[in-house]
Structure 1
Amino acid sequence: MSFDELMRHAHDIQATAIAKSMDQHGVREAPKPGDPPLAPQPGEEATRASVIASFADIPALFEPFMLMPDPASFDGLLDELRSAMGPLSSGYMAGDPITGYPYSANPLLSRVGASESYLEEWTGAAADVFRTDFVNTFPALLVNQFIGGAILRAALDAQRALWVSAREHIDKIAHDTLVALDNMGRCGQNKWTMTWTIVASVAAVVAVPISAGTSLLGAGATLAAVTTVTAVGAAGQVAAAHQVAPAKETEYHGETAEVVVEQMRRGVNEVISEIQLAEQAIAAALRNMHALMIRERELFVAPRPTLLDAGPGSVFDDKYLGRAR
């Protein structure tokens, strides 16, 4: 079975369920146009109408799943974020802290630290602040920005994994329902199991400590004073121990078309619930990261340079360029 054929499967389920139910109720199919009428049987027409009505909702149950995002639509965005993280890779981290994806160090970033020798003749308050707030903190701020990019990329990766898993699950429910309807009346109980991995496919809320370069920020502004940031990533890229929730199993059973379809409805609702839980986990991680960046902006962005306040008549004062010439 294929997700692209989901609506065909839905109509197959509806037709099979109606046929099985009418057979179990001893109801004959209505004659097709042009066929001779059936000999009337008491209550048959009403029962037939009731059976058809009891399964009328099946196509509508599956239609919303056809609107789920195509997992492939995330590929371009993931590539863009990967490209954006490359220039932010300073070499202080071996790679993406969530997925482990390796990034080569950008040699241009080393020039900020190397600028110290050019500033030896610069004195005054502006020089001191520049060294403290820009040169010394640059590696740590860069690492934090790199981690921020990694979290965004992990969230997109998790979204992609979510929709891959959701498609697999709803397709399996359709398949299992058709098999269960086909197995009705055979020896043994008609049982089937669904293993739920949609939530588990969104890797755990992973605690990513922003601690690299802590000693570089100075007292009162150290990264150690900040709690960890939460992120998410796709399963398989983060240790299983970090999963949001372990995969769970649900057992279904039914020996009548009505019960089998009711179990199918239960499974459809479970898919919806799993999607909602996974989306909430991703959203919570991004909200946490956003709140941290708003609350602790100085951990990601250097302060406004003091030199911007200088004018033509004051630029060489001790407050600004000092003795620099």
Structure 2
Amino acid sequence: MGFAEQVDEMVERIIDEAIKFYMASRGWRLNIHGNYEQWPAGDGTQITPPGSPSRTSGGQVLGAGFPGYYGGFEYGAGRNAGSLVYGHFETTIRDLFRPWRTIPDPAAFDDYLDQVRDAAWSVSLTSAADRVSSVGNAALDTVGYLQEKIGGENMRGATIFAFDQNFCTPLPTVLHGQYAVALLAGVTLLGEKEIWAKAREDVHAIAEKMLEAMKDRGSAVADLGTITALFALAAAFPTPAQPILAGVGAALPALETLLNAGDEPNKQPVEFAGGTPEKVIASASEALKTLARTIRGCEDDIKGKIKDGMETVTRRSRSFAMPKPKLLEVVDVSGIKVDLEVLHFLATDTLPQIEKQINDGADLVYWGSMCGAAWYRSSELGVSDTTDGPFPAWQELAALAGNLMSDLAWEVKESAAHLQIAADRHGRTEAEITESLRRHARKLEGFAGHDPIGTASRWLDEHP
């Protein structure tokens, strides 16, 4: 049974108990014939019980077995006075829960979470690159191999030095930064899922306590759990191999605050005191409003963490993105001293492997970002100003993560192409190689893939 069906089933039980509660509070009891009759001092007037399948088909007033009249209910008078009472509680209680029937399904986020999680893993380094210990993508061990070979004694010359200084050296830092951005996208998406998982529990709890209060004609208390949704996320968002790194937040403070949110706060109790069904309904209504306010607060927190993270990326862009490769500006191969076989292997095998992993990550983020439908909620809930809540902000974060990866993959690809030109020296003079390098640099002039930092900066300026 789905969530909406579970809510519907509970609502119908609440309606039945609310009608019994109301009739009892007005002195009406079921007699041996199954009709309501005032007791102990009635005049013989009876009211038929709720009908089936439509409650309002019942509620007819009878006097001495014939159609009668009753005017003592505040919801209407006449021959169908009972039917008007039944209809009132049906409408009121169904309307109370109706917007909550279709709140986001936590399971709808799962496939997208897997995509974003795997995207983060694709750009996570292993211990070979001295960034991540026994967690990352083993295919990126090639980064360590690249650094080792480029920094070797048999690699000299302006082109090689430029590649080592401007690309190989910062590459682990940039990859680690992009891992943190992808992880922030995943953790905030997980936070959104957890909000609605908790909200479903709270809706059930409110409905159950409302039913209990209707039955007991007394009071009940429900604890709202949604406020805890953004806590202990580190344990809930593992990479495919190991739990999240304890220190990954060093690259992105917004991620650090989510992964170390601290102890769970006290849950918010909501009382269902009321001597009439109307008061119980009012208590339930206030409980649902409290739930809505709590969800809004949690989603505002998610949006705040997203913006904080994006601001960190734009302020400290060198830790997350590389500018146009300075290697492409170096076209002088005079004095170059290289192991041509190694250089050719780096250009045609090692760098393409790195490019593939980064492109895989970018593709996974793209597919993971197509989750807008999972965020939909009715505007009647009052949990957000739009029907998709903080999704637009989250989508910008996911786009930033994907664009950073795509841009870096482009850098790797074109750097590999430049190195391959330098390595292809068989039967060619230095002048010919230099001219080939110039042509390659001119071809790419003015084009540097995406501009992820600029795009994110503009969005932040437009959404202060």
Q: CA deviation at 1:41?
A: 4.0
- Check whether the contact 1:20–1:181 (CA below 8 A) recurs between aligned residues: yes
Which residue identity lines up with residue 229 of structure 2 in the other structure?
Answer: S
2:279 paired residue number: 259
2:254 paired residue number: 229
1:199 paired residue number: 227
2:112 paired residue number: 77
Q: CA deviation at 1:165?
A: 0.8
Tell me which structure has the larger Cα radius of gyration. 2
Uncovered stretches (5+) of structure 1, i.e. residues with no partner:
96-101, 185-189, 213-226
1:241 paired residue number: 262
2:335 paired residue number: 323
Q: Distance in 2 between matches of 1:264 and 1:81?
A: 38
Q: Distance in 2 between matches of 1:198 and 1:117?
A: 53
Q: Distance in 2 between matches of 1:83 and 1:209?
A: 16
- Check whether the contact 1:113–1:135 (CA below 8 A) recurs between aligned residues: yes
- Check whether the contact 1:123–1:322 (CA below 8 A) recurs between aligned residues: yes
Uncovered stretches (5+) of structure 2, i.e. residues with no partner:
29-35, 37-45, 49-56, 235-245, 338-464
- Check whether the contact 1:10–1:174 (CA below 8 A) recurs between aligned residues: yes
2:123 paired residue number: 88
2:424 paired residue number: none
- Check whether the contact 2:195–2:226 (CA below 8 A) recurs between aligned residues: yes
Q: Distance in 2 between matches of 1:132 and 1:37?
A: 99
Q: In structure 2, do the counterparts of structure 1 residues 37 and 158 end up closer, same or farther at CA, with 3 Å as the change threshold?
A: farther
Q: Secondary structure at the match of 2:322?
A: coil
Q: Secondary structure at the match of 1:301?
A: coil
Q: CA deviation at 1:156?
A: 1.7
Q: CA deviation at 1:209?
A: 6.8
Q: CA deviation at 1:43?
A: 3.4
Q: In structure 2, do the counterparts of structure 1 residues 211 and 70 end up closer, same or farther at CA, with 3 Å as the change threshold?
A: closer
Q: In structure 2, do the counterparts of structure 1 residues 5 and 228 end up closer, same or farther at CA, with 3 Å as the change threshold?
A: closer
Q: CA deviation at 1:103?
A: 4.0
Q: Distance in 2 between matches of 1:158 and 1:94?
A: 26
- Check whether the contact 1:154–1:231 (CA below 8 A) recurs between aligned residues: no
Q: CA deviation at 1:306?
A: 2.4
TM, length-normalised to structure 2:
0.54
Q: Which fold has the larger relative contact order, with Cα–Cα distance below 8 Å and residues 6 or more apart in sequence?
A: 1
Q: How many residue pairs are counted as aligned between the two chains?
A: 286
Which residue identity lines up with residue 146 of structure 1 in the other structure?
Answer: Y
TM, length-normalised to structure 1:
0.74
Structure 1 counterpart of 2:96, from 45, 54, 61: 61
Q: CA deviation at 1:52?
A: 4.7
The answer to whether 1:40 aligns with 2:40 is no
Report the RMSD for the aligned CA atoms in angstroms: 3.3
- Check whether the contact 2:273–2:283 (CA below 8 A) recurs between aligned residues: yes
Structure 1 counterpart of 2:324, from 294, 298, 304: 304
Residues 168-183 of structure 1: matches in 2 within 5 Å? 168-183=201-216
- Check whether the contact 1:88–1:146 (CA below 8 A) recurs between aligned residues: yes
Q: CA deviation at 1:26?
A: 3.4
Q: CA deviation at 1:177?
A: 0.8
Q: CA deviation at 1:198?
A: 0.6
Q: In structure 2, do the counterparts of structure 1 residues 42 and 154 end up closer, same or farther at CA, with 3 Å as the change threshold?
A: closer
1:14 paired residue number: 15
Please, which moves more after superposition, 169-178 or 271-280? Answer: 271-280
Q: CA deviation at 1:168?
A: 0.8
2:54 paired residue number: none
Q: In structure 2, do the counterparts of structure 1 residues 128 and 109 end up closer, same or farther at CA, with 3 Å as the change threshold?
A: closer
Q: Distance in 1 between matches of 2:66 and 2:125?
A: 82
Q: Distance in 2 between matches of 1:93 and 1:228?
A: 18
Q: In structure 2, do the counterparts of structure 1 residues 58 and 304 end up closer, same or farther at CA, with 3 Å as the change threshold?
A: same
Which residue identity lines up with residue 335 of structure 2 in the other structure?
Answer: R
Q: Distance in 2 between matches of 1:76 and 1:2?
A: 19
Q: Secondary structure at the match of 2:220?
A: strand
Q: In structure 2, do the counterparts of structure 1 residues 162 and 208 end up closer, same or farther at CA, with 3 Å as the change threshold?
A: farther
Percent sequence identity over matched residues?
Answer: 20
Q: Distance in 1 between matches of 2:20 and 2:256?
A: 49
Q: CA deviation at 1:85?
A: 2.4
- Check whether the contact 1:203–1:232 (CA below 8 A) recurs between aligned residues: no
Q: Distance in 2 between matches of 1:81 and 1:273?
A: 28
Q: CA deviation at 1:14?
A: 2.5
Q: CA deviation at 1:93?
A: 2.5
